[in-house]
Amino acid sequence: MGNKDTVPCPSQNTLPSDIHDAMLRKKILRKQHIYVSTKRRITILVCF
């Protein structure tokens, strides 16, 4: 496990697990974004 803040160089061999981890993180972020936007929409409906 390396430092998650540093982006590996293209010249380095990226492990499939790292790529999978990055894809998983993107999916989670997308889900969180959808959840936040839906929550905001519900809040707007409640306010008005």
For 14-44, the DSSP string reads: --HHHHHHHHHHHHHHHHHHHHHHHHHHHHH
Q: Which has more pLDDT, 5 or 37?
A: 37
**Per-residue confidence (pLDDT) for residue 40, from 0 to 100:** 74
Whether 8 shows a pLDDT value over 60: the answer reads: no
When the pLDDT of each residue in the chain is averaged and rounded to a whole number, the result is 67
- Whether 2 contacts 8, CB under 8 Å: yes
Q: How far is residue 35's CA from residue 41's CA, in Å, rounded to a whole number?
A: 10
Q: pLDDT, tens digit, for every residue of 15-33?
A: 667 777 888 888 877 777 6
Whether 11 shows a pLDDT value over 70: the answer reads: no
CA distances to 33, 34, 44, 46 from 22, in Å: 16, 18, 33, 36
